[in-house]
Structure 1
């Protein structure tokens, strides 16, 4: 008897009698993709500018991405939102970022629909859509699509990758992480890296390994089942971490500086038709110093930072190449639709000088040039958390002006590659049609012949906002179907419409030309002034890089575009216009639990993200560990937070109790008990009492008296001259071990406690001192 299948939810087509010999069976039909359906891979790079891939004119070697371009397509008018999480929400939903509740980063969420940081379930993810059609769905790498306070083991988990349609996940939930000691999650639980840096570990390689294994796991069982892989390495976001041999490939290549990089890259872009023949290079940015104006040592440092970045990007390309090789070896490459994009333009969070340790920058404690030079040979390694100067940011966005977080094209235009040999005949061509990342989901559905679902898990779905550009694959002259696109990021606004572009920069065209600092609030009066006086107009069909403001010549066109911006703003929940940053950070938000001053932790539990860990900076606090020391003694970490870039650790070593505070990797201040711990049960306690006020503006946290107690008896004390004032990054807190980079050199991670550790209790009942502006800078830099 032939097997009979029927669609689930429909009437049973068999026959049910009193016994099986009188009955006819039938089975609910499994969900299967249409025969021959292509695989789908979307690769989202991080903070990679328009002029940083080799195939877009860069001197940085990206041969595997270049191979996708040479046998596929490059687009020169793909647009993003200019910031990480907002862009990533568009890529996976096909809806605009404010409609996703992602006006900015979730750490800056406010109580308005476009700003609350929670992607509505009516805005389904591509993963959820393709699951309904028989696809395997995999998420690899950076997520950062949910409120940070939901990243802990307390959940909720409905906005984690597995809650949004991905079958499997391996990566990190936050905005950035160390490439050497990453914060890793596998599916819905934390894991530790499989190897140490000394054993050759690097996160991007690990991500590629898991991408390949996820694909192979399913294909060996169901070779005809297609997959969707969302591959999001943390590269090239800071920290720029890569083995020295990759950076050394570029020794001396950037000694001529960022001005020369721009000129040479722009020349190649024109030669390779990546930009129109009549394109002009944008002006020298007023915030970027002339290369020759820098002292020789500063040029040496800046050039090495760029060498490290270049090595990082080339290394990332090599891991993408391994993934492509696997597809090629398994005959899957030709029928895999691959799209490659960056989430925004190159990042300027390294500041004008760059940094070897971003934690110093976040804590208002920038290092001197001399201190930076002392770490020149360590740049990119496990002992740094480095980011290049913003001169390289500007160069990386060639030929455009400005960078990430701003809606000029330098922030909102990125390289975009499409590769699908089985589905298109074009090879190595450039497409000039206008597109936005909200168009990626509609294009995938169009290619697959699928309609957007009416419901997902019973939730009625909202319409997609993007349009397919699949019709451009084999037709370079096909008309653009995306006619109007708004932009808004921290009050910095723009709109594109049929070859015209209007931009209203906030608080100004550059930092040097602004009357107010970044993050200044926009009042009703300010908004009226901006709309009346500050909008710029560019004929983008003829002025590729926004060089010629023609607002005075075309006032009618400008008024039309401003009006269109407000129409789009009303349609997609952009209002109210909010240029603030610190105020948003201070916004009270719904929390999972009530505020408290006492926290209890247990060994063997998950790392507690910094967003939900007790805030111990600049206030009296105590740490009490309930332990049992076995015969022969014990050692290991009782409680720690941070990493070798800055943090504290409360631990036992050489049978003695210690507390050490790593001040932004610049100094370690410690108090140690003189006598060994005896066998048996003990309460081990650390207390900190501030002895002075913090100087947050100068990067100095409260000095204080550090005391160690054993069973209530004071056994040691010392004065800490300075503490970390604002934040640790990485900032996770762990009980019973120090996973990741060891906070001090006195031990080797993870240095798990070898005795019995029942619990550790932290009390933070003292008054808290904060610097919201610095916390805002850190939050933004993690995008």
Structure 2
């Protein structure tokens, strides 16, 4: 009986083997013939089944090939170039007054799209671009720093929405990302991770850039993969990140092509430019001196006329009104005109440099013989030009987030250094409206094409016959990913890494490549950013500007005023038809609500400033409710969201150090930098505490006594003055800082005011050094390194 069962089991095994072979092996295949169709819908691609080998001696058998994943034959290289904060009228190909020869070169030899759209804000646009899904579908309803716990707003990419680079990588592409990544949840940017949503664990083989909304171009906080780059400038006085990231990109593409010339590459090139801070070498600034003295009204009209002359807008288009808050140039004072002209010169110089560096990358690809076989999608902006500089601009952009109003006279003191390392500048909103011509609005306003319309070029000589032509089909950033997959001959995956995938919500643009008259395929698209919202439907657009970029909400959501435009006939949205066509407006409003439910847009949330506070917003933080943090020497590169928050409260810092040699000097612990932060350090043998208020004022408390030559405890007590007896807290109040050595008071002084909201968008907290820019002028990054030994540092907040 046992023998019969064994034989039966053997028969069943043999039958299963035969059936599997019939399924996996093509008809007529012989043993050791392993050619099978590739299933690219379930990623990673599984190795083909191999039949058992019955040959005893390897010399008598044919070895099967090593399984390799290869891209489809003739799949092109792919490059996405994305400029930051540049509106429709920014590039010279789309009428701009600043020459952009690299962009124009691609436009001349490719296709220009004059009805292509972003989401109106950076993180949402970028996550939508890389996934092919709407920004709320991928939980990026706003930037990660103001994420909430509501679906659609969490800032965490769902596993069911794998990124385009992951799909390409698993299909045989080499993949790399250079520049800005603003898609990682703010509380996940630390050594503790999780790192699964960082670029190199979500599809990119290589990442060289910064995590967050912006970085200091002179002293950036950079990662190579998941490893922080300590001092990327390495003492080079001419260092600039735009140049650095371009060199890194060129070197990577050259290496990839040298080692694997038959393997296509995907490069996502996303500069921090032209987002604030507007940092650019003086040589570029000098080129644009006097170019904007005529003011934003004259130049806006000139851009509009250029756009008509170039044919990128219809001949009958009207120049939309500018917002009422933007003053006429003729009504400004001489000082205002002088300052604002300088701001525009620096912005134009930044764009000029960016275009030149992009040209350097394109030239390198051409010299390798790969330009014609590279599909380039060049978006001139991830949203409209930024109006976050307010009515007069800023010497230090962080003043905006801390409720500090700068003045024109104060900013003019920095006129000659504007754009250099000693400034962190932004420009007045009038220029944002100007560079978004012919539209009315700007970044943050998806209810108007000024916030979402991006001049876009597609360049692919091997795949597109037409050259220098205009395409006016209506498209959105979610259409890029499906376009690239179609061009590469790849299907949208059903599963990625074992997780079922939400279908892409964009449509491929490839149908328009060789057919200028092709009918639109993207017919419905919602827009929403912080309560500003709208809907496009087959030539009509309805929207409401709920909140200006420089002001609080104007109404409750229920009482918002909606506008209606027949954009097929009114390119620039100059004629509001809401009163004439109320039935059409109602139709689109109802469609918006339907789309909002479908894509997790609701509830609407306009708490722009309150959402900076993680507790009020309801998002996780690395610190949670902890009142104390102990850190050790070597820990650093910690962004603000991942370090204990000493703002608006009393606290103490206790540092245990070893000064046995008697030569201890340098920073014990610091946070922030030149444009806002604090530092506890030792200078000439004495402890010092400096509080830097937004780079505008600095308060320094020095010890009267030197450290003893032994192990010692340095303590800094900060008594916050904003806590009243009735429990009410005043934000941004001053306080008293007291230094102690081994329990003995050695110094005390007043800090007159503090930053209540944010230190910096990119500067980090560090133990034993002050990275990026220095908090205090007493040291630089190199001399800031602590020469003694730090045992530990404990920061404790008032209980």
Scaled by the length of structure 2, the TM-score of the pair is: 0.91
Partner of 2:696: 666
Work out whether 1:328 is the aligned partner of 2:371.
Answer: no
CA distance in 2, matches of 1:218, 1:731: 32
Deviation for aligned residue 1:447 = 1.0
What SS does structure 1 have at the residue aligned with 2:669? Answer: strand
Work out whether 1:346 is the aligned partner of 2:385.
Answer: yes
CA distance in 2, matches of 1:4, 1:365: 73
CA distance in 2, matches of 1:6, 1:152: 45
For each residue in 1:405-432, what CA deviation from the matched residue of structure 2 results, as whole angstroms up to 9, or x when unmatched? 1121100111111111111122212111
Partner of 1:459: 499
Partner of 2:149: 111
- Taking a change above 3 Å as real, the CA distance of residues 700 and 123 of structure 1, as seen in their structure-2 partners, is closer
> Does the CA contact (< 8 Å) of 1:693 and 1:703 recur in 2?
no
Paired residue for 2:603, among 576, 587, 602?
576
> Does the CA contact (< 8 Å) of 1:700 and 1:722 recur in 2?
no
Paired residue for 2:765, among 727, 733, 742?
733
Paired residue for 1:518, among 552, 564, 584?
552
For each residue in 1:755-781, what CA deviation from the matched residue of structure 2 results, as whole angstroms up to 9, or x when unmatched? 111221111125xxxxxxxxxxxxxxx
Partner of 1:684: 714
Paired residue for 1:481, among 521, 525, 533?
521
CA distance in 1, matches of 2:83, 2:386: 12
CA distance in 1, matches of 2:604, 2:697: 43
CA distance in 2, matches of 1:74, 1:197: 41
Work out whether 1:710 is the aligned partner of 2:765.
Answer: no
CA distance in 2, matches of 1:566, 1:631: 70
Work out whether 1:764 is the aligned partner of 2:797.
Answer: yes
Work out whether 1:91 is the aligned partner of 2:118.
Answer: no
Deviation for aligned residue 1:400 = 0.5
Partner of 1:774: none
Partner of 1:404: 443
What SS does structure 2 have at the residue aligned with 1:261? Answer: helix
Paired residue for 1:435, among 448, 452, 475?
475
Paired residue for 1:719, among 731, 750, 760?
750
How do residues 201-600 of structure 1 correspond to structure 2 at under 5 angstroms? 201-341=239-379, 342-407=381-446, 408-507=448-547, 518-519=552-553, 522=556, 526-527=557-558, 529-530=559-560, 534-585=561-612, 586-592=616-622, 594-600=624-630
Paired residue for 1:34, among 58, 72, 80?
72
For each residue in 1:161-217, what CA deviation from the matched residue of structure 2 results, as whole angstroms up to 9, or x when unmatched? 112111111101111111111111111121124325752111111111111112122
- Taking a change above 3 Å as real, the CA distance of residues 2 and 204 of structure 1, as seen in their structure-2 partners, is farther
Q: Larger radius of gyration, structure 1 or 2?
A: 2
Bigger drift between 714-723 and 452-461 goes to 714-723
Deviation for aligned residue 1:679 = 2.0
For each residue in 1:480-503, what CA deviation from the matched residue of structure 2 results, as whole angstroms up to 9, or x when unmatched? 111111111112221111111111
CA distance in 1, matches of 2:610, 2:776: 35
Partner of 1:772: none
For each residue in 1:310-361, what CA deviation from the matched residue of structure 2 results, as whole angstroms up to 9, or x when unmatched? 0001001111011011101110111110011121101111000001111222
Partner of 1:781: none
What SS does structure 1 have at the residue aligned with 2:527? Answer: strand
- Taking a change above 3 Å as real, the CA distance of residues 576 and 692 of structure 1, as seen in their structure-2 partners, is closer
Deviation for aligned residue 1:520 = 6.8
- Taking a change above 3 Å as real, the CA distance of residues 361 and 197 of structure 1, as seen in their structure-2 partners, is farther
CA distance in 1, matches of 2:235, 2:410: 24
CA distance in 1, matches of 2:58, 2:460: 50
Structure 1: stretches of 5+ with no match in the other structure: 767-783
Partner of 1:605: 635
CA distance in 2, matches of 1:226, 1:657: 56
What SS does structure 2 have at the residue aligned with 1:618? Answer: coil
CA distance in 2, matches of 1:592, 1:686: 24
Partner of 2:21: none
What SS does structure 2 have at the residue aligned with 1:159? Answer: coil
- Taking a change above 3 Å as real, the CA distance of residues 285 and 589 of structure 1, as seen in their structure-2 partners, is closer
Deviation for aligned residue 1:93 = 0.6
Work out whether 1:185 is the aligned partner of 2:210.
Answer: no
For each residue in 1:386-409, what CA deviation from the matched residue of structure 2 results, as whole angstroms up to 9, or x when unmatched? 000000010010000111111211
> Does the CA contact (< 8 Å) of 1:637 and 1:652 recur in 2?
yes
Partner of 1:780: none
Give the superposed CA RMSD. Answer: 2.2
What SS does structure 1 have at the residue aligned with 2:617? Answer: coil
Structure 2: stretches of 5+ with no match in the other structure: 1-29, 37-45
CA distance in 1, matches of 2:546, 2:731: 31
Bigger drift between 430-439 and 614-623 goes to 614-623
- Taking a change above 3 Å as real, the CA distance of residues 727 and 559 of structure 1, as seen in their structure-2 partners, is closer
> Does the CA contact (< 8 Å) of 1:287 and 1:511 recur in 2?
no
- Taking a change above 3 Å as real, the CA distance of residues 692 and 137 of structure 1, as seen in their structure-2 partners, is closer
What SS does structure 2 have at the residue aligned with 1:170? Answer: strand
CA distance in 2, matches of 1:314, 1:138: 24
CA distance in 1, matches of 2:393, 2:324: 17
Deviation for aligned residue 1:19 = 4.6
CA distance in 2, matches of 1:404, 1:33: 38
CA distance in 2, matches of 1:359, 1:591: 21
For each residue in 1:18-40, what CA deviation from the matched residue of structure 2 results, as whole angstroms up to 9, or x when unmatched? 55346543244201112332110
Partner of 1:63: 101
- Taking a change above 3 Å as real, the CA distance of residues 491 and 27 of structure 1, as seen in their structure-2 partners, is same
CA distance in 2, matches of 1:617, 1:628: 29
- Taking a change above 3 Å as real, the CA distance of residues 630 and 518 of structure 1, as seen in their structure-2 partners, is same
- Taking a change above 3 Å as real, the CA distance of residues 445 and 429 of structure 1, as seen in their structure-2 partners, is same
What SS does structure 2 have at the residue aligned with 1:611? Answer: helix
CA distance in 2, matches of 1:607, 1:295: 43
CA distance in 2, matches of 1:519, 1:115: 19
Deviation for aligned residue 1:3 = 9.0
Instruction: Figure out how many residues of one structure are paired with residues of the other and give that number.
Output: 751
CA distance in 2, matches of 1:274, 1:283: 19
Bigger drift between 326-335 and 698-707 goes to 698-707
For each residue in 1:72-92, what CA deviation from the matched residue of structure 2 results, as whole angstroms up to 9, or x when unmatched? 111110011111111111100
- Taking a change above 3 Å as real, the CA distance of residues 511 and 404 of structure 1, as seen in their structure-2 partners, is closer
> Does the CA contact (< 8 Å) of 2:662 and 2:708 recur in 1?
no
What SS does structure 2 have at the residue aligned with 1:702? Answer: coil
Deviation for aligned residue 1:613 = 1.2
Partner of 1:635: 665
